[in-house]
Structure 1
Amino acid sequence: MTAPLQYRICALDPAAHLFAVTCTVAGPAAGGQLFSLPAWIPGSYMIRDFARHIVAIRAEAGGRAVALEKLDKQTWRAAPVPGGQALSVHCEVYAWDLSVRSAHLDRTHGFFNGSSVFLRVHGQEHCPCEVDILPPADAELADWRVITAMPPAGGVRSHAFGRYRAADYEELIDHPVEMGRFTVYAFEAAGVAHEIALSGRHDCDGERLCADLARICQWQIDLFGAPPPMDYYAFLTMVVGEGYGGLEHRASTALLTSRADLPWQGMKVPTDGYRQFLGLCSHEYFHTWNVKRIKPAAFVPYDLSRENHTALLWAFEGFTSYYDDLALVRSGVIGVDDYLGLLGKSISAVLRGPGRKRQSLAESSFDAWTKYYRQDENTPNEVVSYYAKGALVALALDLQLRAAGQGGSLDEVMRVLWRRHGSGTPGVPEDGIFAAVAEVGGTALARWLRRAVEGTADLPLARLLKPFGIGWRAAAAAALPWLGVKFASGAAEARLATVYSDAPAQRAGLAAGDVLVAIDGLKAATANAVDALLGRRRPGERVQVHAFRRDELMCFEVELGVPPADQVTLAALPRASVAAQQLRRAWLGQ
């Protein structure tokens, strides 16, 4: 039997944000063992070069130092060691990234993803792994606990430091770990234990949160069919003053949320922030099936040393983005009106992006590594979100399947994918989604889907929603002449963050980074001041705009435009036909 790889991690110096990590290999390669750290983490499609956070590294065997040669930015080779001797590599890892992607450590808590701290042992990726998670030495932190979905290796109590195990390296780095003084709330869904840990100050109504999450999780399990593909699930949540983010894992998720977005005792009506947090939890939980197990063939196996390109992120992230809020309404956590409000905002966000006319969803998926995750001032003009528009494609597909009256739906497509690729053949080929849609809804619909994701046309959502008794209203977001710019948020000046393609400001020569100072000779030092001055003008009028570009004052003549009708409002029509109401209830569950 192959000896497990042994890992050890402890909070070496919380004040200096340093984890100490050891990897011990019982049978290193005879010619010199290779080690590396991943360049990216699954679920976040950007090269992050986690090895840059290693501040010290050394190797030893039999109590003696072993030479380590660095081969590239993330790979080391240890010198050969005498036969029968174990080889250990010791690292110190700087952990000061308060996000769901990497690692963070101070005297309030510790968090890490395995991809940012655990070395890969080349040639032994399929060996079982054991990791000792050790408590900080500081006596003042003696009350810290641990929560992770990684199974204990035996004898470890719940939430205790000690030894944990994983079947192989891929599983090892797919179980994030939170340590500190967190609050834990528990609930069950389909008989499976679920826990949510909140790290940070909060006044959360845990009973309400658990009740809502239980309904959402149960609905998703029912969608794919019980039992779920895990026997325990953990929501690891870092609570901060202002923040938002999530990253999926096979039996857990790492979350970042603003404390104001959590429910509190006596909250009568769910706030927008709480609905957003529930949507985030729902999104990451849905990934338990869609992308963690039903995944692109390009990810089987993951190559964590470089980009793994696929044109299918519109399905894995976009379909998940469709189901995240849909699960809220179908499980009864929110009402139909609330859901239609959220859906209207999603449609509006897509319509406001000129990039939807330049980039297809397939292109957006493939170029996620270099475009979507590396945004700049021109991103809205050249990129479409495979999350947001992918969700609208899922909506359009679901509506067409349901309206056809043959009992089909996107739910059935997801179940086909689950049977075929989640618990069957691993890896969805690049045409696999189209094949599943053809099986459920026919080849004509599959051809429509291909055109939708490979082209740039707007989706006919108003027409598709009509048979469901959903009214569509599109209007300008504000009753102001259109300048066609986005101001930098939080800036104390009227600085342009983006100038939209073919908009009045761009045609006049204004550019991102310019700071507006006057309109027609009147001071316009803030975005609000600009809006106030434009409120006295009409579309078609010309105004003189003074702006600084770097340290040069420039003057531009802008012909104001008609604001686009990109604010969409949806409503359930009270006098819809019986057939429309039946379709709507079957779709939304209410």
Structure 2
Amino acid sequence: MKKLLLTTFLISCFTNFLLSQTYNLYEISFDNRVHHEARIKAKFLKLENKVLEVRMSRSSPGRYAVHEFAKNVYSVRATDSKGNELPVTRPNPHQWNVSGHDGTVVFEYTLYANRAGGTYSGIDETHAHLNIPATFVWARNIRHRPVRVKFNLPEGSNWKVATQMKDLGNNTFEAKDTYYFMDSPVEAADLHMRERKIDGQNIRLALHTTATAQEVDAYFEEVMKIVEQQKAVFGELPRFDYGEYTFLSCYVPNASGDGMEHRNSTFVVSSKPHDRPLGNTSMGTMSHEFFHAWNVERIRPASLEPFDFEDANMSGELWFAEGFTSYYTNLFRARSGNMSAEDYVNGLGGAVNYVMNAPGRKYFNPIEMSYRAPFVDAASSIDPDNNANIFISYYTYGSVLGLALDMMLRTQDNGKSLDGYMRHVWQTHGKTEIGYSVRDLEARLEEYAGEAFAKSFFAQYIFKSEMPDYAGLFHRMGVIFEDPNPNSPTLGAFVRVNNGVGRMVQNAIVGSPMYEAGIESEDEIISIDGKPLADFKGRNIDELIGDRKPGDVVEVEIDRWGKRMTKKVTLAADKNLRTRWDNNADAAAQKRRDEWLKAK
């Protein structure tokens, strides 16, 4: 009897606690959606007797650069609990200070949103695609409070709301705090919905696109095959909040292609024309983003915790967080059968060739490349940069390092692989959600593959910018890595020709023939080797020197700010290493290749 009374008492206390919770309340309406506007109301209750600081974010989960979301907020109005107008001041471009309230502030504004992507929001007659930091204000000092948001959907629209937030019914959803709210994107549209349980958890596709039910069924099956292959690497799915993960997929002509990971969902966006079949649209992005449910969301760099919504977020681990994820993106498609193993292998060489030949390795190692994310991750600026020479995307750089590490482990023929290393990192940092540093990753590799191996790998390829022996590694994996045209001459620049005048599309690449000759991107190229570009009808200007050989000197006539001059350019050999399936690989290489690429 005492136990029953105690249980009743505890339930009563818990119920009273829930009822006493103070929520930050939001309401959003789409009456003027044809002009890409939403009207938003935020209600903040039980406030202390001081100025309420209301903010728009400047950064967004999954992005590392600053984005000025406040620029699309206007028609701001603040009132108290009785509807009295409150004074609003602006201490900076991203903030509104509200004073003189009675413990309640109702903050209303209009939002303009016309870029449906991973970072921004897009509203029109067909949908409301909402990245939360680009959509909703929040208030300092009360970010710990739970959030409830009501979506007033257009009458007769057939819109449904999909999000990772808890569904309370009546188009109202809940997040445990502002941090979770900011990490919970929303797609409201006439959605194709598909779902399936795996080990008691629900994997859900909420797809906004023009497609038949049969197309969507086939698409969902391909997605689920990839999900199963990713689960096989880690041995389990992450424990999703509310037991559910949602692919928020938006494939419409006016969308902006993108993919963005979140804790229990992802935005995957494509500008697919209405009349194009669904097919494999953005399947690589679907694979990439779901892998982030482990690698980034739970195997998470300590440098990204807590995420700062008011400034750029810098991490030296993006070569692993984004780059290793990029390595696995198409590998899972090959293992699932969504693409052929041979097509996968034949597509590996381009990225490796690019990183091997990129001058950026002279300036920064993979850690320092990761530090540059706030400057390049959809960041905007109007002054020219020299990224063509000093920067290699941490996505690409990290992906080829992940490939190298996988091949180095596999060619030891002791059962080790990158799959095994990733599972070890999952067990030590992901399931426990203990943030990691670069040194932690090195320590985990020591535990998995031995101290000498780990220290050598990190010393050469992470803390320095050396390159592994890709040709030798590929050979032992049953893959040929070579230049199919080793003696092709090149000027070492991509030139776009308009109205008979050529311009390099980026800065001259350090060490290239054009760079050594002193030709730059602002120069107008008039002729090459005596051949006027006015007569050029090809696509690659190297076609103009096809009868030459590396080491030959040709004349390039340019116009630099109205002054004509001729530059002597010494042609180089085009470095264009590519991979292809080795049909004559020995038995050991074939076995390694099969184990690497087969379904798990």
Fold shared by both chains (TM-score > 0.5): yes
Determine which of 138, 142, 147 is the counterpart of 2:157: 142
8 Å Cα contact 1:341/1:569 also seen in 2: yes
Matches within 5 A, 1:412-423: 412-423=420-431
175-184 or 216-225: bigger deviation: 175-184
Q: Is residue 326 from structure 1 mapped to residue 331 from structure 2 by the alignment?
A: yes
Determine which of 178, 181, 187 is the counterpart of 1:169: 178
- Unpaired runs of at least 5, structure 1: 157-161, 268-273
**Counterpart residue number, 1:484:** 492
Please tell me the root mean square deviation across aligned C-alpha atoms, in Å.
2.7
Determine which of 197, 202, 218 is the counterpart of 1:208: 218
How far does the alpha carbon of each residue in 1:444-465 deviate from its partner, in whole angstroms, 9 at most, with x for none? 2221232211212222122223
Determine which of 516, 519, 541 is the counterpart of 2:552: 541
**Shift of residue 425 of structure 1?**
4.4
**Counterpart residue number, 2:266:** 253
What letter corresponds to residue 507 of structure 1 in structure 2? E
Determine which of 564, 577, 583 is the counterpart of 2:574: 564
1:317 match: secondary structure: helix
Matches within 5 A, 1:359-508: 359-371=364-376, 373-374=378-379, 378-451=386-459, 452-476=461-485, 480-488=488-496, 494-498=502-506, 499-508=508-517
244-253 or 526-535: bigger deviation: 526-535
**Shift of residue 490 of structure 1?**
9.2
Determine which of 214, 228, 239 is the counterpart of 1:229: 239
How far does the alpha carbon of each residue in 1:533-586 deviate from its partner, in whole angstroms, 9 at most, with x for none? 22243333333323344x524323232422332331232344412x33332222
What letter corresponds to residue 35 of structure 1 in structure 2? V
How many residue pairs end up in the alignment? 568
Determine which of 60, 77, 101 is the counterpart of 2:97: 77
**Counterpart residue number, 1:552:** 562
2:494 match: secondary structure: strand
Determine which of 525, 529, 532 is the counterpart of 1:516: 525
In 2, Cα distance between the equivalents of 1:211 and 1:489? 45
8 Å Cα contact 1:243/1:258 also seen in 2: yes
**Shift of residue 65 of structure 1?**
1.2
8 Å Cα contact 2:298/2:433 also seen in 1: no
Give the direction of change, closer, same or farther, for the CA distance of 1:256–1:558 in structure 2 (3 Å limit): farther
**Counterpart residue number, 1:270:** none
8 Å Cα contact 1:216/1:331 also seen in 2: yes
**Counterpart residue number, 1:125:** 143
In 1, Cα distance between the equivalents of 2:259 and 2:272? 15
8 Å Cα contact 1:352/1:566 also seen in 2: no
**Shift of residue 435 of structure 1?**
1.4
**Shift of residue 119 of structure 1?**
1.8
In 1, Cα distance between the equivalents of 2:286 and 2:276? 14
**Counterpart residue number, 1:239:** 251
491-500 or 427-436: bigger deviation: 491-500
**Shift of residue 467 of structure 1?**
2.6
**Shift of residue 353 of structure 1?**
2.7
In 2, Cα distance between the equivalents of 1:476 and 1:374? 37
1:152 match: secondary structure: strand
How far does the alpha carbon of each residue in 1:315-360 deviate from its partner, in whole angstroms, 9 at most, with x for none? 1001101111111122233232111022223223323532233321
8 Å Cα contact 2:529/2:544 also seen in 1: no
How far does the alpha carbon of each residue in 1:130-164 deviate from its partner, in whole angstroms, 9 at most, with x for none? 1001113xx5x6333322232211x34xxxxx101
**Shift of residue 309 of structure 1?**
1.9
Give the direction of change, closer, same or farther, for the CA distance of 1:439–1:559 in structure 2 (3 Å limit): same
In 1, Cα distance between the equivalents of 2:180 and 2:498? 41
Q: Is residue 585 from structure 1 mapped to residue 599 from structure 2 by the alignment?
A: no
1:143 match: secondary structure: coil
In 2, Cα distance between the equivalents of 1:531 and 1:407? 46
1:42 match: secondary structure: coil
**Shift of residue 412 of structure 1?**
2.4
**Counterpart residue number, 2:287:** 282
Determine which of 341, 344, 354 is the counterpart of 2:346: 341
8 Å Cα contact 1:66/1:79 also seen in 2: yes
How far does the alpha carbon of each residue in 1:288-313 deviate from its partner, in whole angstroms, 9 at most, with x for none? 11111211111111111112222110
Determine which of 127, 143, 166 is the counterpart of 1:109: 127
Identity %: 27
Give the direction of change, closer, same or farther, for the CA distance of 1:372–1:37 in structure 2 (3 Å limit): closer
Give the direction of change, closer, same or farther, for the CA distance of 1:545–1:289 in structure 2 (3 Å limit): same
388-397 or 480-489: bigger deviation: 480-489
8 Å Cα contact 1:262/1:277 also seen in 2: no
416-425 or 35-44: bigger deviation: 416-425
Give the direction of change, closer, same or farther, for the CA distance of 1:17–1:260 in structure 2 (3 Å limit): closer
In 2, Cα distance between the equivalents of 1:123 and 1:490? 56
123-132 or 512-521: bigger deviation: 512-521
8 Å Cα contact 1:20/1:92 also seen in 2: yes
- Unpaired runs of at least 5, structure 2: 1-19
